[in-house]
Chains A and B, each alone.
Chain A
Amino acid sequence: MPIVSIEDVIKIYEGKVTHRALDRLSFDVEEGEFLAVMGPSGSGKTTLLNLISGIDMPTSGRVMIQGTDPAALRPDDLARFRRKELGFVFQDFNLLRMLTVEENIVLPLTLDRLPVAEMDARVKAITARLGLEDILHKRPDEISGGQEQRVAIARALVHRPSIVLADEPTGNLDSNAAREVLDLLGTINRENRTTFIMVTHDPIAASYCDRVLFIKDGAYYNEIHKDDRRRTFFQRILNILSLLGGNVDDLSSVRLP
């Protein structure tokens, strides 16, 4: 049974201009899979993540996560569902600036009212794994971008979610830090059997995944599975992207803080 199944989902944003963000999209994600979703800007990738996490509701169609439809849950149950089953990694890390690294990581656990000893043990385990022990008492302003993203990953994993949603996790990192983060995600995926759904622009990032799903204008376009060598996989991703149109290196625009 797939852990996530998207069935004929349509999402329409009403406004001055009605915009169809997703158009009859269907796909499944198996447990323990590492899926990348690619597509040009405005193809509906972020909308898709919002639907899976229940931040947004589909206009029609159904999203099922482990047999539950987030759209059918009451708001409080939805929040509880998110804090148990989902983990998030964002492009701009979104660590809370006034909390220390340790406090940021422990935050999802405190919401669940675990005993302090249990929380301490879990934080210790995850930080040892991600190599964050030395910076536990620093604040996000005092560490590098790569470290920040690793803290964000620790925060996304500390409550042992079944699915981790990542929105451009390497978008704000230099190539070394990006490779480290991707290696880390791959290892966790293999060792813990945690399901990852990653939205990305970056073909290199996508080449770390098991499967790449391409969407265009909100609709399914194509998908490819990885092969033995990452290099050829990367090449095939590039080929599809060139067919897909849009800009291959369509990185997000430069932003001011």
Chain B
Amino acid sequence: MTFRQFAYRNVVRNRRIYAAFFLASVFSVMVFFLYSMLMFHPGIGERFITGITLIGMTAADVVLYVFMLFFLFYSMRAFMQARSGEFALLLQIGMERRQLGKLLLLEMLLLGAASTASGIVLGFTFSKYFFMIVRELLQLPALPLYVSWEPFLMTAGAFFSLFLLIGLLSAYIVSNRDISEFRKGIGGEADPFGYSPGRAAAGILLLLSSYGAALLAGRVNVLYLSVLLPPAATLGTYYFFSHSILYLLDLFRDQKSLYWKRARIVSLAETAAKLRDNANMFFIVAIVSTVSFLSVGTLASLATYTAQYRALNPLGLVYESFPGNPDEYEHVTGLMEELDDAGLEYTHVPLSVAREDSSFSGQPINILREGEVNRLAEALGAGPVQLSPGEAIFLPYSTEAAPRLRDADIRTELEESGVEVHVQGVVGGLLLPAYSLGTNSIVVSETDFVKVASAQPDSLLRIHAFDVPDWEETVGIGLSIEQSMMMSEIQQGEALPYYFKNPGLDYSIIRSTFHLLLLTGLLVAMVFLLAAGSFIYFKLYTMLDRDRRQAAVLKRLGMTEREFIKIVNRQLVPQFFLPWGIAMLHSTFAFISLQAIWKEFADISILKEMALVLVGFTIIQLLYFYLIRWRYLAHVKGPT
């Protein structure tokens, strides 16, 4: 048997111990691979993965990588703790410590190679389904499976380096210890109730004050909060897991009437021991889950932007032609042909807009014609306006502006043409995209408009409004105009004498960006949850011998089956739900403050989306809890 064979057999024959570790690694490799497949997809690269999305997905990859590093490192430590007896034996029969290090490195590389390969194979198997989901989200006609070497190479490289790093680290750790240290067990059991009272208090105080500050957000300086709060909450969380919890449990321990009751004495001490053992891991899981809850919640709320978007962009297509535009006829007929070819119904309403200074405000003001505005209103299903000569009505530039203009009662003279109008009230509803004409616009009667137009006939602006009922389908319309606009923007030449806006196209880009980011956030959060769960399972597994012996003792002391399951529940529940509960609490308060800050910018309520996200994660977590509890009970009660 060669040394390499020995390492191989060690892993293969210990596969039950390695299983949780292996599965979590496989899952992360799979997610990483799916991302890479998406990032390198030829059909998606140029169109959607731009700017913010690329940053988001790269960040997700980096976060995954770093998290995996932590996860593997902790698992490796727990693993070494579980196997310290075995290491002591190997050293005792004369293995050099260098060789022991080499053994660990070999094992880790073997595991790494196996999990990377299985993860990539699984990822490739599921990539077709993954692409189908993405295609649905991004509303693409097709997103075919493709084969290219980049995602394979990237995933394999990333994870191989990861496992190499962990393997070297464990080899380093192992070669710096004595036999006696191994016989005691690495990181043996310290006093489960050991804590520092000062830090315990600091943890609780920091958390409470952060929550308090979050509640006051909106009333206090936002910038101030956003700089101070996250570090305070993070430090508070750390102290909370490493000291405050133990302090609270210890307080409970002093109440004999509560503590000396049935199986509580065991479950509490056990909980304390496990919490203390895994404080760092729980801290990381809590913080990382908070971040992922927050990002997923935020992204989900941005995805509800649709309704608002439609309200701000009531028209299918808008083409504005400035005075002296030679291409107007060609462009407009082109658009109509494209709409016909796409089989989309539409109503075309040309509008003329004059611009004059108002004597009342001294500002330029847009003047529209009653008849044309009414045709547009009819197409959009709004009520018509009726104006006599000398009367005028405001056309609101945004939904927020409408109520403010409702009670307006202004008499003004249009300076260039000398027409006097009495502006009263506002047209119901938004007819043109918000802010498309700048600020103030009024509608005047036919007679007045003829007067205005004849005053300066050359400076009339023409707006071609297309009402398309299936506005989300207009993605492919007017691409050539869009392109020439982009070209001129890039070359920074003269301003073009026209402007084209296709809300359907813009919307599809916004939507797919959000959805892609949301998908990214969700998958990363899933990996965190699963990895955290696997880690708990892994830790349980490494302690199985001890737990089994303990179960046997308790059985002989006369503990019933039900009491035993209660003990297992009581020690599993905090491990699963404490980091997660803290993360929930953190994100709830963070969202309360975010909601307050949000209100300043846009009127988006994120409550519903956030609740949905939190409920979804809760369900996944519950399922995972029952799965692991089932396995653990089977192992503890099962034959040795």
A interface vs B, CB < 8 Å?
53, 55, 75-76, 79-84, 86, 88, 90, 94, 96-99, 103, 106-111, 113, 116, 119-120, 139, 141, 155, 256-257
Determine if B560 is an interface residue (Cβ-Cβ < 8 Å): yes
Does the CB pair B561–A75 fall under 8 Å?
yes
Does the CB pair A141–B262 fall under 8 Å?
no
Query: What residues on B are CB-neighbors of A96 within 8 Å?
Result: 266, 269, 550, 553
What's the Cα separation between A86 and B266 when bound, in Å? 20
Does the CB pair A256–B183 fall under 8 Å?
yes
Query: What residues on A are CB-neighbors of B556 within 8 Å?
Result: 53, 55, 82, 86, 88
Does the CB pair A88–B557 fall under 8 Å?
yes
Determine if B555 is an interface residue (Cβ-Cβ < 8 Å): yes
Does the CB pair B257–A84 fall under 8 Å?
no
Nearest 10 Cβ contacts at the A-B interface: A83-B558, A82-B558, A79-B560, A98-B269, A98-B273, A94-B553, A88-B556, A98-B192, A76-B560, A116-B256
Q: Which of A83, A97, A113 has the most CB of B within 10 A?
A: A97
CB-CB under 8 A for A107 and B561, given A88-B556, A94-B549? no
Does the CB pair B269–A110 fall under 8 Å?
no
Does the CB pair A116–B260 fall under 8 Å?
yes
Does the CB pair A76–B185 fall under 8 Å?
no
Does the CB pair A97–B557 fall under 8 Å?
no
Query: What residues on B are CB-neighbors of A113 within 8 Å?
Result: 261-262
Interface residues in B, total, Cβ within 8 A: 37
Besides A75-B560, A94-B552, A116-B257, 17 new A-B residue pairs in contact (Cβ under 8 A), listed by A number: A53-B556, A84-B558, A88-B553, A88-B556, A97-B189, A99-B269, A106-B265, A108-B558, A111-B262, A111-B263, A111-B558, A111-B559, A111-B563, A113-B262, A119-B260, A139-B191, A141-B189
Interface of B is mostly: helix
Q: Which of A75, A82, A98, A111 has the most CB of B within 10 A?
A: A98
Interface residues of B in 541-585 (CB under 8 A from A): 546, 549-550, 552-553, 555-563
CB of A253, distance to nearest CB on chain B (Å): 13
Determine if B469 is an interface residue (Cβ-Cβ < 8 Å): no
Determine if B286 is an interface residue (Cβ-Cβ < 8 Å): no
Does the CB pair B270–A111 fall under 8 Å?
no
What's the Cα separation between A22 and B563 when bound, in Å? 32
What's the Cα separation between A110 and B263 when bound, in Å? 7
Query: What residues on A are CB-neighbors of B56 within 8 Å?
Result: none
Does the CB pair A79–B260 fall under 8 Å?
no
What's the Cα separation between A110 and B88 when bound, in Å? 38
What's the Cα separation between A88 and B560 when bound, in Å? 16
CB of A26, distance to nearest CB on chain B (Å): 24
Does the CB pair A99–B266 fall under 8 Å?
yes
What's the Cα separation between A53 and B85 when bound, in Å? 31
Total cross-chain contacts (CB, 8 A): 92
Determine if B450 is an interface residue (Cβ-Cβ < 8 Å): no
Complex partner residue of B85 from A83, A94, A257, CB under 8 angstroms: A257
Query: What residues on A are CB-neighbors of B88 within 8 Å?
Result: 256
Query: What residues on B are CB-neighbors of A75 within 8 Å?
Result: 560-561
Interface residues of B in 261-284 (CB under 8 A from A): 261-266, 269-270, 272-273
Query: What residues on A are CB-neighbors of B557 within 8 Å?
Result: 82-83, 88, 107-108, 111, 155
Query: What residues on A are CB-neighbors of B410 within 8 Å?
Result: none
Does the CB pair A110–B561 fall under 8 Å?
no
What's the Cα separation between A111 and B555 when bound, in Å? 11
Does the CB pair B266–A107 fall under 8 Å?
yes
Query: What residues on B are CB-neighbors of A88 within 8 Å?
Result: 553, 556-557
Determine if B173 is an interface residue (Cβ-Cβ < 8 Å): no
Closest residue on chain B to residue A113 by CB atoms: B262
Determine if B612 is an interface residue (Cβ-Cβ < 8 Å): no
Query: What residues on A are CB-neighbors of B89 within 8 Å?
Result: 256
Does the CB pair B561–A79 fall under 8 Å?
yes
What's the Cα separation between A75 and B563 when bound, in Å? 12
Query: What residues on B are CB-neighbors of A55 within 8 Å?
Result: 555-556
Query: What residues on B are CB-neighbors of A111 within 8 Å?
Result: 262-263, 557-559, 563
Does the CB pair B272–A98 fall under 8 Å?
yes
CB of B201, distance to nearest CB on chain A (Å): 23
Does the CB pair A79–B558 fall under 8 Å?
yes
What's the Cα separation between A143 and B264 when bound, in Å? 24
Complex partner residue of B189 from A53, A81, A98, CB under 8 angstroms: A98
Query: What residues on A are CB-neighbors of B191 within 8 Å?
Result: 139
CB of A197, distance to nearest CB on chain B (Å): 14
CB-CB under 8 A for A110 and B262, given A257-B85, A257-B185? yes
Does the CB pair A80–B266 fall under 8 Å?
no
Closest residue on chain A to residue B549 by CB atoms: A94
Query: What residues on B are CB-neighbors of A109 within 8 Å?
Result: 260
Query: What residues on B are CB-neighbors of A108 within 8 Å?
Result: 557-558
Query: What residues on A are CB-neighbors of B85 within 8 Å?
Result: 256-257
Query: What residues on B are CB-neighbors of A81 within 8 Å?
Result: 558
Does the CB pair B560–A103 fall under 8 Å?
no
What's the Cα separation between A1 and B191 when bound, in Å? 48
- Interface CB pairs A-B, < 8 A, 8: A79-B555, A79-B559, A83-B558, A98-B192, A103-B265, A106-B260, A110-B261, A111-B263
Query: What residues on A are CB-neighbors of B273 within 8 Å?
Result: 97-98
CB of A14, distance to nearest CB on chain B (Å): 12
Does the CB pair B272–A99 fall under 8 Å?
no
Closest residue on chain A to residue B557 by CB atoms: A108
CB of B523, distance to nearest CB on chain A (Å): 38
What's the Cα separation between A84 and B560 when bound, in Å? 13
Interface residues of B in 115-154 (CB under 8 A from A): none
Query: What residues on A are CB-neighbors of B550 within 8 Å?
Result: 94, 96
What's the Cα separation between A176 and B567 when bound, in Å? 38
What's the Cα separation between A99 and B553 when bound, in Å? 14
What's the Cα separation between A98 and B275 when bound, in Å? 12
CB of B191, distance to nearest CB on chain A (Å): 6
CB-CB under 8 A for A110 and B264, given A80-B558, A84-B558, A256-B183? yes
